[in-house]
Structure 1
């Protein structure tokens, strides 16, 4: 298997670049502006399906310059959060796609005051979003705050398990939240396995959100590989320029595939 699983935006040139690699999965990273043309989102999903490519969407991270937070005190941010989730749930159900969503991003209210009480409040707000569709949303972890494995000891027991919450596990976010500890990363990958439907594979030095190509950070990919390779994932690497050239993602796919090939040789 080639493991060509990529991320991009809705620009046709960007999509054409990804499709030229004959991918298995493409995730469309959406902006606030993209929600104003929902037919375009549907068209891009259909282009993927016509090529036999599985489609994921990524919920917009910002509204009017402010990062989203499901516990935001800004009523306009909350309104956009829920209206956009409801719209994307409808698109995903009708077009057979899934959508990555964050409960919050860094530098938001949910990154401070991590308590069991606030974790329970987070759970009930997530439950409201799940009511739009239980099947399409896969919830991604942050590097800090309430929805961070390294920062919130209550997250799995008080949110994920009671809701049987479908997850996107971002391997680098988890690694960073544990300050570069591969053993703790392994523990979370095992504990979240019953709920994880999707993964973001990206390397990191474990200190900040650096989004490195696989093999250029400190994540133990030989440990990670058998825990994720039979589920859906993409290689989510920071790109330069206008993001039209996804070579670092494709090179990461080759790196991942080479690990698989090396281990197969080693077992013969």
Structure 2
């Protein structure tokens, strides 16, 4: 698979215009709680249409990562945190509805919190996972081919965990595989990472291409970490889209994402991997 130039931005017109000048074939919107207000959703819709008018056909909207200074967690207790639960569900519903209307994709993160926080919400980990999958089933039924689920470094929803992988395969979910998250979960083991990516490739429709040292969430530019990209790119789904989800020094300058694309394209061209 030769990667696409996939770039990510907020709903800021300045960021969007900076990305569009490089003619990406994939565009992912990073959203926050402000984008989920009535005015925010109207602005998001206009920005999606704006990106589409620039000729970009592959567009993903990332479900907000936070609400009221907490993770926007699928495994939120409706009883212990009714406001957080209401935000999580209503924002997912609104984005899926918008995605169907505009023929784009919504990405929902399967989890963010550590095991202790998830257990505190539901009493035990097994119950928490049941709740997560029941909610993902609901989103899948509602969104169909317009919704995908991303892996985390949280044990609530981490690819590399065989139990999670077996469940997502059994539920026939459409997946986003964040390569760095898988690498961190597997403690920097490239052999296990390649096996996990290959196993889930048939259901993976989108990749977050990000490097890592494999110890913690570091979101490195490709070539700056320890992921074996030659091996990874041999087993990804060639029909899937991708973006480079790299930490930027300046949110209005996508240079680290573009440098990652240049690195990977040169690497694969040199090795003649297709």
TM norm. shorter chain > 0.5: yes
230, 240, 245: which one aligns with 2:249: 240
Matches for 1:90-105 after TM superposition, within 5 Å = 90-105=97-112
Contact 1:116-1:154 at 8 Å conserved across structures: no
Query: Which residue does 1:88 correspond to in 2?
Result: 95
- The structural deviation recorded for 1:147 is 0.2
In 2: Cα distance, 1:253 partner to 1:127 partner: 34
- The structural deviation recorded for 1:164 is 0.3
Contact 2:148-2:176 at 8 Å conserved across structures: yes
Could you say what secondary structure the match of 2:50 adopts?
A: helix
In 1: Cα distance, 2:162 partner to 2:240 partner: 26
In 1: Cα distance, 2:131 partner to 2:42 partner: 34
Query: Which residue does 1:49 correspond to in 2?
Result: 52
- The structural deviation recorded for 1:199 is 0.4
For residues 87-133 of structure 1, what are the alpha-carbon distances to aligned partners after superposition, in whole Å with 9 as ceiling and x for unaligned?
00111001111011112213473378885554333211211222321
Segments of 4+ in structure 1 off by > 4 A? 111-117
Question: Do structure 1's residue 61 and structure 2's residue 65 form an aligned pair?
Answer: yes
Contact 2:3-2:242 at 8 Å conserved across structures: no
In 2: Cα distance, 1:93 partner to 1:223 partner: 35
- The structural deviation recorded for 1:137 is 1.4
Matches for 1:117-156 after TM superposition, within 5 Å = 117-150=127-160, 152-156=161-165
Question: Do structure 1's residue 20 and structure 2's residue 21 form an aligned pair?
Answer: yes
For residues 157-205 of structure 1, what are the alpha-carbon distances to aligned partners after superposition, in whole Å with 9 as ceiling and x for unaligned?
23x1232011000000000001100011001101111211000000000
Structure 1: tracts of 5 or more residues without a match: none
Query: Which residue does 1:223 correspond to in 2?
Result: 231
Contact 1:111-1:145 at 8 Å conserved across structures: no
Higher helix fraction (1 or 2): 2
TM-score (norm 2): 0.90
Structure 2: tracts of 5 or more residues without a match: none
Contact 2:210-2:244 at 8 Å conserved across structures: yes
CA RMSD, aligned part only? 2.0
Could you say what secondary structure the match of 2:143 adopts?
A: coil
Aligned length: 263
For residues 204-257 of structure 1, what are the alpha-carbon distances to aligned partners after superposition, in whole Å with 9 as ceiling and x for unaligned?
00001000000000000001113235420001100124x000000000001111
188, 193, 216: which one aligns with 1:185: 193
